[in-house]
Amino acid sequence: MNVTVDGEPQPARAGQTVAALLLAAARVSWRDTRAGGRPRGLFCGIGVCFDCLVVVNGIPDVRACQRVVADGDEIRTQHGAELPEARS
């Protein structure tokens, strides 16, 4: 599968969650908070806490622990509260 994290190609396997892929890539955080700019990553791991948000294919606020990677996914760090990228 062709998956990138912040522009860099990253090995991915079928059924892997975005959070597992990021942790396997030695990333422990992939978001910073809106007010304090503090790093966040996985917390509850089961879709409850919304801490592990990440941008996938231009769409922000995707829970990395719930989203399963798909071929072609472009995953990137989320900075604070983001709006979806304009679609052409």
Q: In what side-by-side order are the strands of the sheet with 74-76?
A: 8-10, 3-5, 74-76, 53-56, 59-63
Q: How many residues bind another protein (CB under 8 A)?
A: 39
Distance of CA 13 to the CA centre of its chain: 16
- Taking the complex as a whole, the smallest distance from the CB of residue 4 to another protein amounts, in Å, to 17
Residue from 22, 31, 1 nearest 67 by CA: 22
For residue 28 the two structure tokens come to 């422990």
* From candidates 14, 83, 86, 88, binder to another protein by CB under 8 A: 14
Candidate residues 6, 44, 80, 85; the one interacting with another protein per rule CB under 8 A: 44
The residues binding another protein (CB under 8 A) are 14-17, 19-20, 23-24, 28-29, 33-36, 38-51, 53, 56, 59, 61-63, 65-68, 70
